[in-house]
A = this chain, B = another copy of it.
Amino acid sequence: MTQSYYEKHRQTLEKAVEASRTREFWSPYPEAPSGKVYGEDAPAAGEAAFQARLNKPMALEMPGIEGEIGAERSPYGFDLGITYPKVDPDTLLTAMEDSLRAWRDAGPETRAGVCLEILHRLNQRSFELAHAVMHTTGQAFPMAFQAGGTHAQDRGLEAVAYAFEAMTRHPGQTHWTKPQGKRDPLEMDKNFHVIPRGLALMIGVSTFPTWNGYPGLFASLATGNPVVVKPHPHTILPLAITVEVCQEVLKEAGFDPWIVSMIADTREAPVTKELALDPRIQVIDFTGSSAFGEWLEQNCHQAQVYTEKAGVNSIVIDSTDNLKAMSQNLAFSLSLYSGQMCTTPQNLFIPRDGIDTDQGHLSFDEVAEALATGVSKFLSDNDRATGVLGAIQAPVTAERIDQARTLGRVVLDSESREHPQFDGARIRTPLILAVDAADENAYQRELFGPISLLIATDSTEDSIQRAKTLARSKGAMTWAVYSTREATLGAMRQAALDAGVSLSENLLGGVFVNQTAAFSDYHGTGANPAANAALCDAAFVANRFRVVQTRRHAA
């Protein structure tokens, strides 16, 4: 049964490894939220499956269940009413440790097969997952389907591919023959066994529970570590469905289903710190605030800790030969999911003397106006706006927009619009402010949400230097540059290497600075304070397992 999962998905796994090496485009999970791809009934069936979950308890199979928990509310204005098992962590972790051996001894191929079957079934449930992601994170449906569904599946598969390659780099056994001159050679038989570090903890984030969660979840699971999922209290459902699918496949494959488990908590009674300090937890994956990420890094010495934290993303605008395309591209990037992405650009550095464009030299204010107009036009169609902006996930983000107005001169104010389909949903368009580079307090911190700052600098050189200093001290997930000058692009690339930030150059079409493609683009670098790891590379998987060797004289 389990071997057949490996055989069933072997080609997909091999292609995933190959794609992660060539870094060419590839995905086995079609991103179009379309009945033509997933079956005519799939969209309706997915929505029905989501609706059927509302206002009910959801079951997961775990030792130590002692109650119910859960109080999610859709950012589109209604309570989900779903409860989840409340678990005694100690009972659960003890059971998971007991289940570790069978999962460890199943070996890399069986584990990879189970992981790929899980991903396959998650893919089949992409519509249901999209509704779950939409109504916890506030992402608009198309984005929830892609970023929350198929692209998250891509990132999960990518992690399995890296893990599988790393675990099978050495042979399971080898014969070792060392010449001894005229004497008989020394001959040894050696075996190499992959063992996991222990139990893994994946701490979910409220905005991208699956996209940011799957890499750690699947990297740990593929390398033999049973995984506890600790979802954000406001965004439980997408990960609960994920755990449900994991348990279903594990059980069918003959393993204890609680090899993937979930410990949900509440904001009032958080359990994450206690869990993260448990000596049985040997791997931690976290996406969220810098404060908590740093606490994990500095206190959980027993575990390998992978964090993605806050950062301040910068764009340097030096010149462009296509002002319109630049403005359109940036309008999308600033609007997408109302700026609630760790990759959303925040600081746009522009020389105070203006820039050269295909429409002649434009002053700083003219560039600001062009960008503001780009955003306004893009969002003037309310249907399109709705499909891009989504809803504000947390009230604090909406409050931040209102507070930020005083930080600079308002170039484009944030609008609060009614959602055409959902009563009570908060839709917010981007706030764009202009500030002077000297006003460092305004822009040298993360302003999470749809808040962008156009920063007037002495020169492009000054812009680059400020972006670099900021990335080194506060971190950055993304950088972009617009310039028609090779020397400027070269200087920006050099700064990107110095600051350890990935860079997009002159994006004018259908690729956006806040989006990365699995198998090709690394998400983050691990080389600046915004994250200590990249999604996904060898470093992300290599420390999740160890090799134990046995050797003996050859028979």
Q: Which residues of A contact B (CB under 8 A)?
A: 20-25, 101, 104-105, 166, 169-171, 174-180, 186, 188, 190, 192-193, 195, 197, 297-298, 301, 493, 496-498, 500-511, 517, 520-522, 525-527, 534, 537-539, 542-543, 546-553
Taking a contact as CB atoms under 8 Å apart, the answer to whether B188 and A511 are in contact is yes
Q: Distance (Å) between the CB of A540 and the closest chain B CB?
A: 8
20 contacts between A and B (CB under 8 A): A24-B175, A105-B497, A178-B517, A180-B510, A190-B520, A192-B522, A195-B500, A195-B525, A195-B527, A297-B301, A503-B548, A503-B549, A504-B552, A508-B553, A525-B548, A538-B538, A538-B542, A542-B542, A542-B543, A543-B543
A23-B176, A493-B550 given. 17 additional CB < 8 A pairs?
A22-B171, A105-B497, A166-B538, A186-B509, A186-B510, A195-B500, A195-B525, A501-B548, A503-B551, A504-B552, A505-B551, A506-B553, A509-B553, A537-B542, A537-B547, A538-B538, A543-B543
Cα–Cα, bound, A170→B508 (Å):
26
Judged by DSSP, the binding face of A is mixed
Taking a contact as CB atoms under 8 Å apart, the answer to whether A190 and B521 are in contact is yes
Taking a contact as CB atoms under 8 Å apart, the answer to whether A547 and B534 are in contact is yes
Q: Distance (Å) between the CB of A376 and the closest chain B CB?
A: 25
- Taken together, the copies of this chain in the complex come to 2
Taking a contact as CB atoms under 8 Å apart, the answer to whether A21 and B543 are in contact is no
The answer to whether residues A497 and B538 also contact, given A549-B522, A553-B508 and a CB cut-off of 8 A, is: no
The answer to whether residues A24 and B546 also contact, given A195-B527, A500-B195, A553-B511 and a CB cut-off of 8 A, is: no
Q: Which residues of the partner chain B approach A548 to less than 8 Å between Cβ atoms? A: 496-497, 500-503, 525, 527
Q: Which residues of the partner chain B approach A501 to less than 8 Å between Cβ atoms? A: 548
Cα–Cα, bound, A498→B517 (Å):
38
Q: Which residues of the partner chain B approach A498 to less than 8 Å between Cβ atoms? A: 101
Q: Which residues of the partner chain B approach A504 to less than 8 Å between Cβ atoms? A: 550-552
Residue of B nearest to A502 (CB): B549
Q: Which residues of the partner chain B approach A195 to less than 8 Å between Cβ atoms? A: 497, 500, 525, 527
Q: Which listed residue (B23, B176, B527, B550) contacts A496, Cβ 8 A?
A: B550
Cα–Cα, bound, A25→B23 (Å):
34
Taking a contact as CB atoms under 8 Å apart, the answer to whether A506 and B552 are in contact is yes
The answer to whether residues A176 and B520 also contact, given A504-B551, A509-B553 and a CB cut-off of 8 A, is: yes
Q: Which residues of the partner chain B approach A500 to less than 8 Å between Cβ atoms? A: 195, 546, 548
Taking a contact as CB atoms under 8 Å apart, the answer to whether A176 and B550 are in contact is no
Taking a contact as CB atoms under 8 Å apart, the answer to whether B506 and A551 are in contact is no
Q: Which listed residue (B24, B493, B508, B534) contacts A174, Cβ 8 A?
A: B24
Q: Which listed residue (B24, B175, B543) contacts A176, Cβ 8 A?
A: B24
Taking a contact as CB atoms under 8 Å apart, the answer to whether A550 and B502 are in contact is yes
9 tightest Cβ-Cβ pairs between the two chains A and B: A539-B542, A527-B546, A505-B552, A542-B542, A502-B549, A23-B174, A538-B542, A503-B550, A25-B178
Q: Distance (Å) between the CB of A474 and the closest chain B CB?
A: 15
Q: Distance (Å) between the CB of A374 and the closest chain B CB?
A: 18
